[in-house]
Structure 1
Amino acid sequence: MRSFLILLTAGLLAQLAPGTAGATNIRVLVASGKAVSVRVPITPSVAQGAAGYASWTVGALGSHLSLGGQDAGGDTLYLPPVPGSTVDIDGHTYRGGLLLKVVSGVVKAVNVLDLEEYLLGVVPAEMPSSWPTEALKSQAVIARTYAAARINPTSYYDLCATDSCQVYGGVARETASASQAVQATRAQVVSYAGAAARTYFSSDSGGYTASSLEAWGQDQPYLTAKPDPASQGPNSRWTLSVPLSRVAEVAARYGVQVGSVQSLTITQLSASGRVTGINVVGSAGSRLLSGADAGGFVRSLGARSSRVNFSGSDPLVIEGAGSGHGVGLSQYGAAGLARQGWNYLQIMGFYYAGASISSILADTRPGGLLTAGVPFREAQPAPLAERPAAPPVVALDPWVLRSPGL
């Protein structure tokens, strides 16, 4: 079948086309491999009057992309979003458009879409859709903020789609309740000092949030350690047994060589009760692990968090609380507060005390242009004005690639 597939170079994806103020696009790395399969919409102007979809296997030919085995003539291709359509990438369906790029012989597939549409596939992937509405709204706002703060014009993508960033499942993960939470909080972000805040979150604080300073050595005034009694998830309390032989293996990875490990003692705790000092005693001496190494060592043993106590000899018994780093919002805590009648602004005001709520006005890369922040204690839940969906991010110097046989 004779058809054309219009694909644009995307070397300047950081720039929006003129007249797009008020919209925010996000670029999400969703697939990576020697080859990627895609199914993309073709417009009537491309298909000589017959709209539909075309499927391609995209590979790498040296430093260039290939489509169906043919050299695409460059290392980057971009298909703009078609309103109301979707793209399929390795069997998964996503809203928006598609950027393809070769990096060191590997094909990278990036979904480019409006930030609000992106959140439709994030919120239900990060928090159960059956949870209280106000908790889902909190998740929507912090997920939006997390993404806005990580828009990176120096890279070809802003975020990954896994829990190394925040989980994004595309159209298949969308649910009605999560979508309603996204719409109800449209454009809202947590802000501090005029910019999008760092809205870290974890599953369960174990009853006490951690500060960003104790976790990563980064002092953010709105990320402090405090009691969090509403955080009562299935991992609020847990026990783990670890043979000392396993302890010795993990200790060696941290440069601790003390012979046969005999005992471990916690020597220091942070303000939130998380481990920041461990003395490892062995047949050939002892060694102190401190700071981030101490917490990393505990988690490497299989602990769900570093808010722990040690007991026993062999095996070492670790009794712990919570799951995750504990900084910022606790998802189980947010659900607990929502069940107590708190609204989403009150929930975020608790976990990000000292920060404010703002609205994204325009995409200015990075972070967007924000309205003046309103302190959470003064904010009232209210619908925000509709913002337009993001138009295609059109690169300069477009070019046309013809399908095989033409």
Structure 2
Amino acid sequence: MLTLALGGSALTAAQALNIRVLVVSAPQLTVRLPGTSAPAPGTLAVPGVSPAPLPMNAWSVGVQGDNLTLNGRDAGSSTLYLPPSPGSVVEIAAKPYRGGVLLRAISGSVQAINVVDVEDYLRGVVPAEMPASWPASALAAQAVIARTYVAARINPALPFDTCATESCQMYGGLKAEKPGSDAAIRATAGQVVAYAGRPASTYFSSDSGGYTASSAETWGRDLPYLPAQADPYSAGGPRARWRLEVSAAKVAEVAARYRVRVGTLNSVRITRASLSGRAQEVTLTGTGGVTRLSGADAGGFVRSLGAASSRVTLSGPVGPNTPLVVEGAGAGHGVGLSQYGALGLARQGQDHLHILGFYYPGTTLGVLAGVPDSRPVLALSRPLPTLAPTAPLALTGSHGE
């Protein structure tokens, strides 16, 4: 039997380890319950609304004024809630998800928020963030940091906790699930990285390029467990080393985006780099003067040239027939865990605790233990083990994407 509860009050403390994931926002969408029959008369929240002409287990949800509509009829509320139940699946905009769905009318669109148990949520996250064919300990490390990330974001005062895109964590729902990542999630059930009794900020990137970046140099926020440090394990990825040639026209176009006004460019140089080798100041010289980009603008300028990371060197004069040569290492911001570094460590036989201990030094292994006030509580166990950097073994075979 389907019940759609009006309003958001049905999210209670008993469901506190359910994660609310914004999966779709659109003027109209379809919600379907796979494999169910039509609800009995009177069980819908809006009496008299028939699911026809859609399949008998499907509803077209839209917005009229401040309220949602079901199959074109006013639902009488700005929210509708289909709570999760054990083993339940809901299809939202033709994509299946475990759990239930909370629907909200907001600014002329329908927000569809998947309400799902945290461990089931991870089943759609881990294989979307890391190839499920990778070694078990690398997948286990990814599972722990993904769980940590979302545990830190649970906030009943907000309409949802996280989103399903790379702006938060990639979440592919039921179709993304893989046996290898499912096993890693089960093996680490409840485990999180903690610091000072709270979930740590478990940032990660694809490839550190041989040296992780600190949170201070990247975002101006100094977290002691996110330092700049040598990372010899991150050496086997497809973008461990790369080279670009950027035309003068492209360089000028990017410079204009950063409001650089120096006439015709003839030189672009990195004049200050961070401890990890990432651009902190870029000096652009032209026929009309000199401009310096610093901090986030320096890194943003480099990335806008097409660089996979800001751990680069720039060489060559810039001219009509002379490109700017960009040589770099790694991919992404470089803060925290390097996925290709985790792969390298796993192939050396390191377990997920040593992987986490290397990339988040000084942190503790915690376990989600309680749910007062609709927020998880951490039961702290032991410090994560330390791992001194050593030269990595040779990596062979496919590394995934």
Normalising by structure 2, report the TM-score: 0.88
Name the SS for the 1:11 alignment partner.
coil
- CA distance in structure 2 between the partners assigned to 1:153 and 1:298 by the alignment: 39
Cα contact 1:150–1:367 (8 A) shared by 2 = no
339, 343, 347: which one aligns with 2:351: 343
Aligned match of 2:273 in 269, 273, 276?
269
Q: Structure 1 residues 14, 277: CA separation in 2 closer, same or farther (over 3 Å shift)?
A: farther
* Aligned equivalents of 2:9, 2:241: Cα separation in 1: 49
SS at match of 2:266: strand
Give the deviation of 1:11 after TM superposition.
3.1
Residue 335 (structure 2) aligned to one of 303, 321, 327: 327
Secondary structure, aligned partner of 2:57: strand
Return the offset for 1:53: 6.7
Instruction: State the 1:193 CA deviation.
Output: 0.3
- Return the match for 1:299 from 299, 303, 306: 303
Change (3 A) 1:84 1:49: farther
Match of 2:4 among 4, 7, 12: 7
The reply on whether 1:199 has 2:202 as its aligned counterpart is: yes
Percent identity between the aligned chains? Answer: 56
Contact 2:207 2:330 in 1 (8 A): yes
Which one of 368, 377, 382 corresponds to residue 369 of structure 1?
377
**In structure 1, C-alpha distance between the alignment counterparts of 2:155 and 2:284, rounded to whole Å:** 41
SS at match of 1:139: helix
1:225 maps to 228
> Within 1, Cα distance between the matches of 2:37 and 2:25?
30
RMSD: 2.2
1:134 match:
137
- Partner of 1:371, secondary structure, is strand
Number of the residue aligned with 2:123: 120
* Residue 209 (structure 1) aligns with: 212
Measure the CA separation in 1 of the matches of 2:374 and 2:149.
Answer: 12
Structure 1 contact 13–156 (Cα < 8 Å) conserved:
no
Distance in 2 (CA, whole Å) between partners of 1:142 and 1:309 is 31
Aligned-pair CA distance for 1:82: 2.6
Letter aligned with residue 164 of structure 2: A
- 1:247 counterpart = 2:251: yes
Q: Tell me how far 1:144 sits from its aligned partner.
A: 0.2
- 1:39 maps to 32
Amino acid at match of 1:122: V
The offset of 1:245, in angstroms, is 1.6
Residue deviations 1:221-241 (CA, integer Å, cap 9, x gap): 000011111112000001111
What is residue 67 of structure 1 aligned with on the other side? 70
Q: Among 336, 344, 364, which residue is 1:356 paired with?
A: 364
Contact map agreement 1:191 1:373 (CA 8 A) in 2: no
**Residue 40 of structure 1: CA displacement?**
2.7
Equivalent position amino acid for 1:64 in 2:
N
> Given that residues 149 and 367 in structure 1 are in contact (C-alpha distance below 8 angstroms), is that contact kept between their aligned partners in structure 2?
no
Residues 151-190 of structure 1 show CA distances to partners (whole Å, capped at 9, x for unaligned) of: 1323211111111111100110101110010000000000
Bigger Cα displacement from structure 2, 324-333 vs 77-86? 77-86
1:390 counterpart residue number: none
Q: C-alpha deviations, 1:367-404, integer Å up to 9, x for none?
A: 510002410129xxxxxxxxxxxxxxxxxxxxxxxxxx
- Aligned equivalents of 2:85, 2:38: Cα separation in 1: 12
Pairwise CA distance, 1:247? 1.3
CA deviation vs aligned residue, 1:33-72 (integer Å, no higher than 9, x gap): 111111037989952799x971011111111111100001
1:10 shift after superposition: 3.8
- Structure 1 residues 367 and 201, CA, compared in 2 at 3 Å: closer, same or farther? farther
TM-score, normalization: structure 1? 0.87
Equivalent position to 2:20, from 27, 32, 38: 27
The answer to whether the 8 Å contact 1:42/1:53 transfers is: no
Name the CA distance, whole Å, in 2 between partners of 1:274 and 1:84.
Answer: 47
Q: Letter of the aligned partner of 1:284 in structure 2?
A: G
Counterparts of 1:159 and 1:124, CA distance in 2: 17
Q: Residues 337-373 of structure 1, C-alpha deviation per residue, up to 9 Å, x if partnerless?
A: 0000100000000000001100001234675100024
Aligned in 2, Cα 1:268/1:367: closer, same or farther, shift over 3 Å?
farther
Q: Which secondary structure does the structure 1 equivalent of 2:13 belong to?
A: coil
**Which amino acid counterpart does residue 47 of structure 1 have in structure 2?**
A
Q: 1:357 to 1:174 in 2, by over 3 A?
A: same
Q: Decide whether aligned partners of structure 1 residues 44 and 59 sit closer, same or farther in structure 2, where only a CA change above 3 A counts.
A: closer
How far apart, in 2, do the equivalents of 1:43 and 1:297 lie?
52
Contact between 1:207 and 1:229, CA under 8 Å: does it hold in 2? yes
TM-aligned CA deviation for residue 85 of structure 1: 2.0
The aligned runs of 1:53-202 (5 Å cut-off) are 54-202=57-205
One-letter code aligned to 1:342: Q
Note the residue ranges of structure 1 that are not aligned, 5 or more in a row: 379-406
Q: Once the 2 structures are TM-superposed, how far is the Cα of residue 14 of structure 1 from its aligned partner?
A: 5.9
Alignment partners' CA distance in 2, 1:102 and 1:362: 32
Structure 2: tracts of 5 or more residues without a match: 44-54, 387-401
Choose 79-88 or 187-196, whichever is displaced more.
79-88
Cα distance in structure 2, aligned partners of 1:367 and 1:312: 54
* Higher mean displacement: 36-45 or 334-343: 36-45
Match of 2:284 in 1: 280
**Residue aligned with 1:342, SS:** coil
